[in-house]
Amino acid sequence: MRKVLLLLVFALAGTLTYAGGYRVAVQGQRALAMGHTGVAVVNSAELGFFNPAGLVYLENQLTISAGVSAVFSEVAWQNESTGASARTDNPAGTPFYFNASYKLKDWLSLGLSVYTPYGSTVEWEDDWAGSHLVNNIKLQAIYVQPLVSVKVTDYLSFGGGPIFVTGSVNFNRNLSRTLTDIDGNRSEVTIDASGVNEWGWSASALFTASEDLRIGVNYRSEIIMNAEGGEADFENIPNTPLAPFSDTTFDAELPLPAELTVGLSYQLNDKWLLAFDFNRTFWDVYESLDIKFANGRVANNPRAYEDANTWRFGAQYDATDKLTLRAGYYLDESPVQPGYFAPETPRNDSMGFTAGLSLDVTSRLAIDASFAYIRFDEVDASYDYYVDENMQTVPFGGTYKSVAFIPGLGVTYKL
């Protein structure tokens, strides 16, 4: 049974690591095109995610922004000492967003935001060298947030609201590096948790320092996802007392960290708008993953994440009355520390290069497009906490190379 506990500890650890450490920011086409800046940029209902306090400054009574992106990502792994190599074959992820703002009074606006900050898939080759850590993982999380935006003075506003999160995860890995059934099929486990629902909140402020300069701040709370009654399904188990694996259930708490973003925008002239955001994600909340099994046992798995920063830069250029061009760059730190680098989340420091445009089809409708290229630093790293069937700690490491391409399309409607 101890081997079962250890197995599920590492399986569940991978699910949450992927949820946070491998997050790709795609919560708005206009913002993404500008390096995912937006906490001080007032140009669409995308403010519902970036800074609800700014919704009250939108000129139209009703503003809607909606869109979807396609995330194409690939990870290559190689161990130079053994010559083994592998790469992922990930289906395209399709994160989406919907933001709406309605102005009740000059000083009061209400809004609604629905978005998917976590929701992609990592698929390694079956039975690859690291299959005892992961074969594939699929995560989906949807955030729903009602909003209120209040203008206190002509220069200062506040906004925010509760956040409802619903999500699911499915994860598969081999039980060990060697265990098979009588036909030679590798023994494996699939864990599944669905219908995980929790609440959080956000609060924000926007200060108009001058006609050209805005300063914004947005805080999104920590959310603890409580997975209760998750299912663990074991397959290809040999008929031997040495492999006492049987289907079971588990409970676990999965923390999604708090985030603080501060930034500014500056209207350089009639054509150019510049923006900068600084984001701090409080990953230190993820010290360990504690799992409680149906038999009453509890297993602890240290993760030792550290807080991580992201620096974002963006520019917007009004080329014509109907065409707006955008470009941006961001530098994103990884929260993963040496010795904790697992193939469930091949996540290292990265740089994002972005561009996009908006085209006004009519006075009410605009098409928004963006493209992001994310380059992850090549890294030699290992995961040092895998315990094999002989209860020996066996590190797994190698060289990881990662890249992601993200085209996106959306619309902005004003009434």
Radius of gyration of the chain (CA): 23
pLDDT in tens, 241-277: 655 667 778 777 777 889 999 999 999 999 999 999 9
Which domains does the chain possess? 2-414 (2.40.160.60)
Name the pLDDT band for 194 (thresholds 50, 70, 90): confident
Place of tokens 């400054």: 57
CB crowding 197-209: b at 16 or more within 10 Å, else e: ebebebebbbbbe
Question: Could you tell me which of 98, 17, 110, 14 has the C-alpha nearest to residue 64?
Answer: 98
Which secondary-structure segment (H or E) carries 10?
Answer: helix 2-21
Token pair of 50 as six digits: 């970036």
Name the pLDDT band for 381 (thresholds 50, 70, 90): confident
Which of 121-125, 204-208, 335-339, 383-387: highest mean pLDDT? Answer: 204-208
At residue 209, does pLDDT exceed 50?
yes
Token pair of 359 as six digits: 């085209």
Q: What pLDDT, on the 0 to 100 scale, is given for residue 5?
A: 33
Q: What pLDDT, on the 0 to 100 scale, is given for residue 254?
A: 74
